[in-house]
Amino acid sequence: MSKENWWINYPWRMVQTNLRETDMDNMDAKAFAKELSDYNATVVTLNAAGILASYNTELSYHKKSKFLTGDSLKNMVDECHSQGIKVIARCDFSKIPETVYKEHPEWAYIKGDGSVSNYNGFVQTCVNSEYQQKYIFEILEELFREHDFDGLFCNMSGAMVVDYDYNLLGPCHCDNCKRLFKESTGLDVPTSDNPRDPAVGKYNVFKGACVAKQKKILYNRVKAIKPGIAVNGVDYNRVECNQDMDRPVNIYQASTNARKLTGIDKDKVADAASTDFLGFRYRHSSISPELMEIRQWQNLANGAGTSLYIMGTLGNHKDRSGIKASKKVFDFYKKNENEYKNLRSAAEVLLVDKMLLARVDEEVSGFIRVLTECHIAFDEMKLGEVTPEILKSKKLVIMADTRFISDEAAAMFDEYVKNGGVLLATGQSGLNKANFMPRNEQALKSLGIGQITEKLTGLKSSIYEIQDSDKEILEFSSDAELGYIVPGEEVFAGEILDDSKTTTFLKLIPEQLYGPPEVCYPKEKSEIPGIYKTVYGNGMAVWVPWLAGSFFYQQGYDNTFEILKDIIINICGAKSLAPSLTPMCEITVMKGDGKLVLHLINTSGSFLNSFYKPVPLYDLELDIDKENLEGYEIYTLNGGEVTVKNGKLVLNKLDTYEAIIIKEKKEN
- pLDDT tier for residue 357 given thresholds of 50, 70 and 90: very low
* 3-state SS track over 328-342: HHHHHHHHHHHHHCC
- pLDDT tier for residue 91 given thresholds of 50, 70 and 90: very high
Read off the pLDDT of residues 426-482 as tens digits, 9 standing for 90 and up.
999 998 887 777 888 899 999 999 999 999 999 999 999 999 999 999 999 999 999
pLDDT higher at 167 or 333: 333
Which CATH number is 3-91+135-155+207-338 given? 3.20.20.80
Instruction: Give the global pTM.
Output: 0.92
Give the per-residue pLDDT at 355: 64
Give the per-residue pLDDT at 1: 35
Output the DSSP codes for 109-160.
-B-TTS-B-EETTEEEBPTTSHIIIIIHHHHHHHHHHHS--SEEEETT-S--
Three-class SS state of 47: strand
Position 630 pLDDT exceeds 80:
no
Give the per-residue pLDDT at 668: 55
Which CATH number is 349-571 given? 3.40.50.880
Taking Cα atoms as reference points, which of 109, 85, 118 lies closest to residue 13? 85
Position 358 pLDDT exceeds 80:
no
Give the per-residue pLDDT at 359: 62
Dihedral sign for Cα atoms in the order 606, 610, 614, 615 = negative
- pLDDT tier for residue 159 given thresholds of 50, 70 and 90: confident
Three-class SS state of 428: coil
- pLDDT tier for residue 131 given thresholds of 50, 70 and 90: very high
Give the per-residue pLDDT at 205: 86
Mean pLDDT of 634-656: 94
Position 45 pLDDT exceeds 50:
yes
Q: Which fold has domain 585-664?
A: Immunoglobulin-like (2.60.40)
Domain spans in the chain, listed from the N-terminal domain onward: 3-91+135-155+207-338, 349-571, 585-664
What values do phi and psi take at 244, rounded to 5? Answer: -155, 175
Position 379 pLDDT exceeds 90:
yes
Position 281 pLDDT exceeds 90:
no
Three-class SS state of 397: strand
- pLDDT tier for residue 2 given thresholds of 50, 70 and 90: very low
In whole numbers, what is the pLDDT of the chain averaged over residues? 92
Q: Which of 376-390, 423-437, 486-500 has the weakest average pLDDT?
A: 423-437
Give the per-residue pLDDT at 667: 66
Taking Cα atoms as reference points, which of 452, 464, 540 lies closest to residue 497? 452
Give the per-residue pLDDT at 3: 63
C-alpha dist (Å) from residue 208 to 189, 197, 355, 438:
14, 17, 12, 21
Position 188 pLDDT exceeds 50:
yes
Is residue 220 within 8 A of residue 231, CB to CB? The reply is: no
Position 119 pLDDT exceeds 90:
no
